[in-house]
Structure 1
Amino acid sequence: MGEKQSDPLKNEGIAIPNMTYYFISGNLPHDYGGLTKSLLLRSKLFGKLSQTPTTFLTFGFDKDFSTKKKQLYENEKVHPKFTRILNMYNDFLSKNTNGRLFSEKTSLNEIKNHNKNRFFAKFSKIFRRQKSNLNYNFYEDGKSICSIDYLNNEKKRFKREEYTRQGLLCRVSYFNTETGRLYCQQFINDNHNVYLDKHYDFIEGQNELQLKSINWYSENGVLKFSDESELRRHWIEVLELETDHPKLFLVDSRRQDKHVFRVKKADSSYYAAIIHSKHYGDNPLHVKPRYRELFSHLYNLDAVFFITEEQKEDFQRIVGEHKTFFYTPHTMDKSLDKKVLKTQSEKNKAVIISRLVESKNLTHAIKAFKLVVDEIPEARLEIFGSGGAENKIKAEIESCNLQKNVFLKGYTNNPDNEFQKAWLTISTSHFEGFGLSNMEALGNGCPVITYDYDYGARSLVKDNENGFVVEKYNIEQLAEKIVLLMKNEKLHEKFSKCAFETADKYTTKHYMKRWSDALQKMIEVKKEKQELKGIFPGKQAFSVREHKIDESNLIIEFKAQVQVDEGYNLKLVGLDRRNNAVVICASSPEKPVSRSDVYRFNIDLDQHFHVKTVRANNTKTIDFYLAISNREQVTILKRLSVDQTEMPSPFLVAKYKVEPYITVKGNYSWTLQTDPEMPS
């Protein structure tokens, strides 16, 4: 891998802010999907441009972490000069410890010798003393021991030892022989010291095992944590305090949001999320449970980065416009070369390069190809990739009697070559975050025929220009477009040229320019938000003094503890407590002539109450805020407190019974209940 490849970008004035970049995922996966590929590429490009290594943070315990990390460097997925890869267990907990020596350890050689001779010799004294039988589990090489289960004379497991591929004991788990349930785990470092233990309880009523406590034997004494999330937040806080240098913690995995975004932010730290997958289910206004943590922290985050404009717009349909939302699509880790347009493509050959998983919906591509072969008997589809849906795909090929036309080719290390040889590629996913494979195809002049899924289909593929966008799940239409393109050489030539031109928008130059602009704007917006908070300090700067309902109109009058100049815009917003979805929004408050510190919002419940959003998210509680924006539309929220001691009587909106109430902290909220007497 070359050095100092950032010079061309610097010569064009492209630079990223001088800060430490942390990119956060849960673990290092065995298979590298789009999320991991984009994270590693971003880490490398940021490192090259800044000539300072970025850091890929992982949290989960992984006994195979060292091997995966080594493979990433050896396979040149990352460069040590530009990317550090750290794991909380391997690089923090196990090293900064004053743990005790693990006293039960038996050398792996003794265990291997016992395993080798277990059918021909009596147990050695140590195994007689433990009165145990052993069950061995191996890594896929069939030689390296992965774990050993210790069984008592009744063949019940009481202990499991886990080993790295290098033969080092790394974790020991203990089980109740009566119930078979885990009750304790000890984590062992390379010096055979116990650096951390976890204790578990079984909750009978909930029929589940729960983590009771974590003890970390740190260099500064024993630190206790109630759960894994608290432990992870502690590591982030330690990283925050290492230096005063600005830091960005960018979370790529939604499962990590709750561990990172609840950290108490240092003044020099920035926290952000990047969106890789669809955030809603069947209803575009419904927030998926895995996204609720992100939505609930939107107003505290410094940025949210989107890889498609469509998803950014869909987010705003739920939460409104935010100056902290930025469009930063993926890129290709290569230079484009027009020579690919001169490569001879095989006229009747289609290709798919994808993980073989359910979300890619590849059986639809095969069903469509059955119809294609009826029109073009020599048509050929080659599918490259691996995954859990492989057997299902094989069965579909056999069911359609396409063994002579559709072929599973396994993993390819040279996707560019396959796209260049193919006449077209097919994409039938249920959904995508972006569609990296389609972008790679376009960069090789390979037209794309895709279902119209969210997201990325229409971002990359312009219908009838560089491919076709087909109605989602319309197999007949998909087959029709494949046949049309295979039979029309002039159309293919047009699509191929346009595909290459489209790909130019996603080169490294454009990618880093977007990130540079977004990060600079993120810093500016944070500064403006801090200034706004300084102008409007306090938790109870605005308080409700009157609230009355008149038919379909609601009047909320509040008193301001600080002067609000004409340069600021005010909105009254009601947010779903679970996810910050905007369910009430009213602007342009009136100021009674007699009081300069009083503002009145007239809320038209038919217009300002977003009943579709309420229904989509099954909203139960609405919390009210005053949104204050400056001239640049940078916004902060201030919670509305309550002056009056009594709330007005409940009232009806749409099919909901609304009950205003004062929270424990003295703030203004509503509870919603479906009124059974109201029609749906």
Structure 2
Amino acid sequence: MSNQPINYNNELPDMMYYFISGGLPDNYGGLTKSLLLRSKLFGEESQKNTAFLTFRYDLEFARKKNDLFEKGKADSEYTQVINLFDDFLSKKTKGKRAYSEKIKLDEIKRHVSKGKVSKAISKLFGKSANEYVLTYYSDGAAVRYVDYLNDEKQVTKREEYNKAGILAIVSYYDTKINQIYLQEYINTENKVYLEKHYMWNSQSKEVQFTHFTWYTEEDTMTFKDESEMRRYWIESLQNENDQPKLFLVDSRPQDKHVFKVKKAPSSYYAAIIHNKHYGDNKYQIKGRYKEVFSQMNNLDAVFFITEEQIEDFTLISGERETFFFTPHTINKPLDEEVLNVPSEKNKAVIISRLAAMKNLTHAVKAFRLVVNEIPDARLEIFGSGEDLEKIKNEIKAQNLQANVFLKGYTNNPDYEFQKAWLTISTSHFEGFGLSNMEALSNGCPVVTYDYDYGARSLVEDGVNGYVIEQYNIEKLAEAIISLMKDESTHSKFSQQAFKMAEKYSKPNYIKNWSKALSRMIEVRKEKEQLAKRVGSKEQPITSFKKDDSGIAISVLLSGQDETIQKINLLGIDRKNKAEIISVSSDQMTQQFIVRPEKDIKMEKIEANQTSVLDFYIQFITADHIQNLRRISSSEVKFGEKDQFENNCYVFEPYTTVKGNFSIKLTKKDHID
């Protein structure tokens, strides 16, 4: 990251902003809320056009989109909410043909209501006509499926409708094997615009998807899978015009679709990190984050909502000039009058999804200890989720039915936080902790476990709340008791809570994004300039020597000039681009010394099961701009003498088929 001071007058760069998620859920969580708020504020605060892009096919997409605008979650003046199927495939089509149902849905429903189904069917299909079956949505009013049956009562065709009664998909079945073989997608003009093909696999005894056929405005296109179709859409969007565009992915499952698109000169590609990226330890990359790490060298930016997570990303990837801090915001005016609302002493609240990651049973267990000390202490938990019964059972097990209450969803979280003495946060992990930020904005102190991420970003221990060692229920209870008993400390914490919230005001939010995006554009230019100076050639090894002190690798460096301040040799995990080896060189000698015990990060190898290291030369300017060049070893002959061991691994240098230098890793207990 660059520490260069920047002054951009808080203006967001003039570009089109695409914010990307998989779908548009009915009940969305923090990630979708964050995306929608970003779209809204970019428009309302800076008059920038944004688009919320979704990929998944959704029968109810039009309704959900309208709900967002009607409820003010998105601003139609600045924000588009668009979908691959609804707004691209179904519109950029001439259609294969017009689809014609043999019987209209309204007619089916009318005859059903009159009890004349059989007569209606025989008129339509003749005396040998077959039957159909209606399947309704859970509301019991709207028809979802109409299944057409043959004489053997087998489904031959299924028509699928959305809740508004509009036909969307028609599926066809092979009655010999009772399996689907084709689906036709129908647009609002009643045209077949897309086909999804299936084939029976006799070996696996299951139906397998084979390909999509899309009937475009000009021709017919085939896609081998949905990922290819998604990438084609992104390519089409970026090539519509020369206007600069940012494609920012919010949802990790979408990374593999978006980041493999060939980048246009005017396009920027970036990820924003909403959640914990590591697994059992801080070197182990979670599965859904591996694509971000593997594409790190191709991304223009990675945005983070806490500074702690930037540091933890760096543990794996090394320092990056493309990492930027863009924290959340509070979507409301801050009003100090909240501090004058009387709080109910001994009352704690939690406003949260009742999800496993929130670990709310710990709050209940801690409250048992609180009630032992303060019998009239009260905890109100607002929210819904899959852990409802688990929390109910814990309340019962702790005999706290008179002290802990499940209150369901609240439409007025501000009021609940203002009336409460404190709030409690016991999560296993968070991306940021939006509920804590909301509490602080209402002057409500927070007692929180010290989880990653956001606990210490928002709560300063002993200043606006307490940060407790994670999973220490006794210490959690002690902090709650202490704050409930001490009115003076509560008053101070409440004042400081509000001051902390000011850090996350809307003006500061736009300021942070302006700084990050403007620097992203500058970094791209500086990286391109450095790449030209360094050149495109691989850096060749001139010698590889191994002795007791380590491995000496000499490289014929090219492209050096006075702007380059530092040169490193990097050994990078081929799969996820984790930085395993990083050693510097004296530019005069052009030799790098790798001392296995010191310079090889075995903890990263173990955490991510690294099997191959690829080697690069890293050029770094005084402004922290980086450029990587692959190391060539086509002129070096590696043999058994060049292998070495470190911590139960055998490291075997070799030259790839492209002539580049790599090392294969094999754990000794796996060697035959």
Q: With structure 1 as the length reference, what TM-score do the two structures score?
A: 0.93
Paired with 1:209 and 1:664, the residues of 2 have a C-alpha distance of 38
More off after superposition, 605-614 vs 387-396: 387-396
- Find 2:436's aligned residue among 438, 448, 451: 438
- Find 1:547's aligned residue among 524, 544, 550: 544
Q: Deviations over 1:583-625 (max 9, x none)?
A: 1111124545xxxxxx321211121111111111110111111
Structure 2 match to 1:265: 263
Q: Deviations over 1:162-190 (max 9, x none)?
A: 21222111112334556554432221101
* 1:675 paired to 2:671: no
Q: Deviations over 1:459-515 (max 9, x none)?
A: 111112111112212222222222221222112111111111111111111111111
Structure 1 match to 2:645: 652
- Find 1:81's aligned residue among 77, 88, 97: 77
Q: Deviations over 1:421-466 (max 9, x none)?
A: 1111111111100000000000000011111111111111111211
CA contact (8 A) 1:545 1:643 kept: no
Change (3 A) 1:566 1:352: closer
CA contact (8 A) 2:541 2:636 kept: no
Paired with 1:33 and 1:215, the residues of 2 have a C-alpha distance of 34
Paired with 1:470 and 1:249, the residues of 2 have a C-alpha distance of 38
Aligned residues: 660
Paired with 1:386 and 1:409, the residues of 2 have a C-alpha distance of 9
Change (3 A) 1:562 1:507: closer
* 1:124 paired to 2:118: no
1:347: Cα distance to partner? 0.8
Structure 1 match to 2:358: 360
For 1:12-91, what aligned pairs fall within 5 Å after superposition? 13-91=9-87
Change (3 A) 1:403 1:142: farther
1:248: Cα distance to partner? 0.6
Paired with 2:48 and 2:279, the residues of 1 have a C-alpha distance of 40
Letter in 1 for 2:107: E
- Find 1:313's aligned residue among 311, 314, 325: 311
Q: How high is the sequence identity, in percent, across the aligned residues?
A: 53
Structure 1 match to 2:340: 342
- Find 2:599's aligned residue among 596, 608, 622: 608
Change (3 A) 1:664 1:12: closer
Paired with 2:371 and 2:348, the residues of 1 have a C-alpha distance of 12
1:396: Cα distance to partner? 2.5
Paired with 1:76 and 1:393, the residues of 2 have a C-alpha distance of 33
Change (3 A) 1:578 1:240: same
Structure 2 match to 1:96: 92
Letter in 1 for 2:501: A
Letter in 1 for 2:575: R
Paired with 1:449 and 1:145, the residues of 2 have a C-alpha distance of 49
Change (3 A) 1:187 1:445: same
Partner-residue secondary structure (3-state), 1:607: helix
More off after superposition, 615-624 vs 117-126: 117-126
Partner-residue secondary structure (3-state), 1:186: strand
CA contact (8 A) 1:135 1:148 kept: yes
1:130: Cα distance to partner? 5.7
Partner-residue secondary structure (3-state), 1:546: strand
Change (3 A) 1:115 1:374: farther
Change (3 A) 1:376 1:164: same
Paired with 2:146 and 2:395, the residues of 1 have a C-alpha distance of 41
1:69: Cα distance to partner? 0.7
1:370: Cα distance to partner? 2.3
* 1:581 paired to 2:578: yes
1:550: Cα distance to partner? 1.3
Paired with 2:129 and 2:544, the residues of 1 have a C-alpha distance of 74
* 1:626 paired to 2:617: yes
Letter in 1 for 2:667: T
Structure 2 match to 1:112: 109
Partner-residue secondary structure (3-state), 2:577: coil
Paired with 1:616 and 1:208, the residues of 2 have a C-alpha distance of 36
For 1:203-222, what aligned pairs fall within 5 Å after superposition? 210-222=208-220
Q: Deviations over 1:392-420 (max 9, x none)?
A: 22232233333322222222221111110
CA contact (8 A) 1:137 1:148 kept: no
- Consecutive unaligned residues of structure 1, counting only runs of 5 or more, are 1-10, 593-598
Partner-residue secondary structure (3-state), 2:296: coil
- Find 2:632's aligned residue among 636, 641, 646: 641
- Find 1:148's aligned residue among 146, 149, 168: 146
Q: RMSD of aligned C-alpha atoms?
A: 2.2
Q: Deviations over 1:187-242 (max 9, x none)?
A: 11011111111123455767775431111111011111111111111111111111
1:245: Cα distance to partner? 0.8
Structure 1 match to 2:556: 559
Change (3 A) 1:155 1:290: farther
Partner-residue secondary structure (3-state), 2:228: helix
Structure 1 match to 2:3: none
CA contact (8 A) 2:130 2:148 kept: no
Change (3 A) 1:206 1:450: farther
Partner-residue secondary structure (3-state), 2:298: coil
1:626: Cα distance to partner? 1.0
* 1:299 paired to 2:297: yes
Q: With structure 2 as the length reference, what TM-score do the two structures score?
A: 0.94
Q: Deviations over 1:113-170 (max 9, x none)?
A: 35435698556224676624414031x4321223334455555544433212221111
Partner-residue secondary structure (3-state), 2:28: coil
Change (3 A) 1:463 1:154: farther
CA contact (8 A) 1:571 1:589 kept: no
Paired with 1:260 and 1:120, the residues of 2 have a C-alpha distance of 49
For 1:106-255, what aligned pairs fall within 5 Å after superposition? 106-116=103-113, 124-125=121-122, 126=124, 131-138=130-137, 140-152=138-150, 154-177=152-175, 181-201=179-199, 210-255=208-253
CA contact (8 A) 2:156 2:175 kept: yes
Paired with 2:179 and 2:553, the residues of 1 have a C-alpha distance of 56
Change (3 A) 1:129 1:20: farther
Change (3 A) 1:168 1:120: closer
- Consecutive unaligned residues of structure 2, counting only runs of 5 or more, are 1-6
Structure 2 match to 1:6: none
Paired with 1:215 and 1:589, the residues of 2 have a C-alpha distance of 57
Structure 1 match to 2:4: none
Letter in 2 for 1:308: T
Letter in 1 for 2:437: M
Paired with 1:628 and 1:207, the residues of 2 have a C-alpha distance of 54
Structure 2 match to 1:465: 463
Letter in 1 for 2:94: N
CA contact (8 A) 1:56 1:86 kept: yes
Partner-residue secondary structure (3-state), 1:556: strand
Partner-residue secondary structure (3-state), 1:321: coil
Q: Deviations over 1:644-676 (max 9, x none)?
A: 263232322221111222222222111111012
Change (3 A) 1:273 1:367: same
Change (3 A) 1:399 1:244: same
Letter in 2 for 1:632: D
Paired with 1:447 and 1:197, the residues of 2 have a C-alpha distance of 56
1:525: Cα distance to partner? 0.3
CA contact (8 A) 2:168 2:185 kept: yes
Partner-residue secondary structure (3-state), 1:583: strand
